Amino acid sequence: MIPAISARLSAMTLLDKAASGNRLSPGEAEQLYHLPLFALAAAADAVRRQRTEPEVVTYLIDRNINYSNICNVGCSFCGFYRTRRQADSYVLSLAEISAKVRELEAVGGTRILMQGGVNPYLPFSWYLELLAHLKRQHPAIRIEAFSPEEIKGMAGLTGMTTFEVLKELQAAGLDGLPGGGGEILVDAVRKAKHISPARISADEWIGVMAEAQRLGLYTTATMVIGFGETFAERIASMKRVRDLQDAALATHGNGFSAFISWTLQSKGVRIEGKVPGAGAHEYLQNVAVSRLWLDNIVNFQASWPTMGYKVAQTALYFGANDFGSTMLEENVVSQAGAKHRHTPEREIVRQIVDAGFIPKQRDSLYRIVRTPDVAALLAAKPSIDFSSLPAIS
């Protein structure tokens, strides 16, 4: 057979296999990156429509709260962290955090996502007190907080194991962990000298997530592309997630609720110019590959904060079924050039409708909590002007 025809046939066979939802081998998944973008999109969209409600795109009303920006890890891609000596370093008080949660409650929010740095000056009791305070003051709000890197930091500070740390935090009110710090789960990439040699290792990140899942805590998995990683390394990174998900579902049924990927944001940070980054084409390609490769995860988020609304809308045809969350306040990727810091509910709803889907508000467990009245929402004025929020400086 003529080589070109043979290659075309094998691409079609691979796409058919992927579109039917069959499990792919690492070699097959890597080949997906070499296929035409829109053929890949069609396969990913077919799988998304089999696994989630085809006409619906979900979203969450939540708020990110960055309780402190003091961190001793020093990732070269991070524009958020400060040392304690820097004039603009901060730790929010319990009252300041509570005030932010009250603003979230006022707009019907259901979750806070709390992350800071690895702050060696905060005692473990501070975290326990914070959780207990928030649960007392805001019992209806789910608290998803502290990425595996922060959990590891608390373990180092207290001498406890990460499992013991998680258990104490859970007893104090923690409901789940953000998926932050996934990036590329291959140490040769994540811990490279020009990226983040002090970063939590891939094994440790997976280990903390496995422990959290065993305790029944909510977790998500994240991925950042653009560090110069190879396609094989992207597949290997996602394989760590797929393997843990297999094990979690088989042993206790509590695995990752969602997978979220985006591109490296590097504007004005130390890594700028040292790695290739990734554009919209690569982002969409990776969303589609992740939908096809991670056959044991149901929900995939589009990332409007980093990619902008239009690319995020397009991702809804590349395998994503969720438009993420309002955030109300984002201070991490926005300090490395991300496009948006927050989006009010009516804007998220507008984006979903304009993309051709029915918007439904979900909670952080992906349960539908409300079908918004689109006409009323789009006509309404915002109850709080979030555009007036001061930037954390």
CA distances from 314 to 7, 56, 215, 217, 269 (A): 28, 15, 36, 31, 28
Among 48, 59, 65, 80, binds ligand SF4 (CB under 6 A): 80
Q: How far, in Å, CA of 333 to CA of 190, rounded?
A: 17
Q: How far is the CB of 153 from ligand SF4 (least distance, A)?
A: 8
Residue nearer to ligand SF4 on the CB measure, 29 or 332: 332
Q: How many chain residues are in contact with ligand SF4, going by CB under 6 A?
A: 10
320 is a site residue for ligand SF4 (CB under 6 A):
no
Sign of CA dihedral 381, 382, 388, 391: negative
185 is a site residue for ligand SF4 (CB under 6 A):
no
Q: How far is the CB of 73 from ligand SF4 (least distance, A)?
A: 4
Q: How far is the CB of 76 from ligand SF4 (least distance, A)?
A: 9
User: Which tokens sit at 289?
Assistant: 């590959």
At CA 99, angle to CA 96 and CA 100, rounded to 5?
90
148 is a site residue for ligand SF4 (CB under 6 A):
no
Element (H or E) spanning 310, and its range? helix 309-315
Which stretch in 74-82, 120-128, 249-257, 297-305 sits in contact with ligand SF4 by CB under 6 A? 74-82
149 is a site residue for ligand SF4 (CB under 6 A):
yes
Residue nearer to ligand SF4 on the CB measure, 88 or 385: 88
67 is a site residue for ligand SF4 (CB under 6 A):
no
Question: What string marks each residue from 92 to 131 as x (binds ligand SF4 by CB under 6 A) or -?
Answer: -------------------------xx-------------
Residues 195-224 that bind ligand SF4 (CB under 6 A): none
Which stretch in 73-81, 257-265, 268-276, 306-314 sits in contact with ligand SF4 by CB under 6 A? 73-81
Q: Which long-range contacts (CB under 8 A, 24 or more apart) does 211-214 make?
A: 211/162, 211/163, 211/166, 212/166, 212/176, 212/177, 213/244, 213/248, 213/252, 213/254, 213/255, 213/256, 214/248, 214/251, 214/252, 214/254
Residue nearer to ligand SF4 on the CB measure, 75 or 278: 75
271 is a site residue for ligand SF4 (CB under 6 A):
no
233 is a site residue for ligand SF4 (CB under 6 A):
no
Q: How far, in Å, CA of 255 to CA of 184, rounded?
A: 19
74 is a site residue for ligand SF4 (CB under 6 A):
yes
Residue 45 and residue 318 in contact, taking contact as beta carbons nearer than 8 Å: yes
Q: What residue has token string 């309780």?
A: 67
Contacts (Cβ under 8 Å, ≥6 apart) of 184: 190, 223, 224, 225, 227, 229, 233, 234, 237
CA distances from 345 to 108, 121, 255, 317, 338 (A): 10, 36, 28, 21, 19
227 is a site residue for ligand SF4 (CB under 6 A):
no
189 is a site residue for ligand SF4 (CB under 6 A):
no
User: Which parts of this chain interact with ligand SF4 (CB under 6 A)?
Assistant: 71, 73-75, 78, 80-81, 117-118, 149
